């Protein structure tokens, strides 16, 4: 009778180790590879001078973003080299 109890406890412990802790580890980390948190806006870099500004304030042209119309219309607007 005692053997059955020991085996049952051992199986329960094994299941807890396999699923109880495994499920917790399998939980995806929070706040990673998702859209920015509420209130934070995506930032873009001006293709002319490299300054960062919120996407809503940037001027988009030719799939690039600019901080101002002057930079958007400026010649030689290749992305700045780091």
Q: How far is the CB of 60 from Zn ion (least distance, A)?
A: 13
The 3-state DSSP class for residue 42 equals coil
Nearest to 72 by CA among 20, 81, 53: 53
Q: Is 40 helix (H, G, I), strand (E, B) or coil?
A: coil
Residue nearest to Zn ion (CB): 46
80: DSSP letter:
P
The residue range among 8-16, 26-34, 35-43, 67-75 that interacts with Zn ion, by the rule CB under 5 A, is 67-75
Element spanning 13, H or E: helix 2-15
Nearer residue to Zn ion within complex by CB, 8 or 70: 70
The yes or no reply on residue 59 touching Zn ion (CB under 5 A) is no
Q: In the window 33-52, what residues touch Zn ion (CB under 5 A)?
A: 46, 48-49
Q: Which residues bind Zn ion (CB under 5 A)?
A: 46, 48-49, 67, 71
């Amino acid at each position: 009778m005692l053997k059955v109890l020991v085996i049952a406890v051992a199986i329960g412990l094994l299941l807890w180790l396999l699923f109880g802790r495994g499920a917790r580890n399998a939980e995806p980390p929070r706040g990673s590879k998702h859209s920015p948190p509420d209130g934070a806006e995506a930032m873009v870099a001006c293709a002319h001078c490299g300054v960062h500004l919120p996407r809503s304030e940037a001027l988009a042209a030719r799939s690039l973003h600019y901080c101002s119309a002057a930079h958007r219309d400026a010649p030689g607007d290749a992305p700045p080299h780091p």
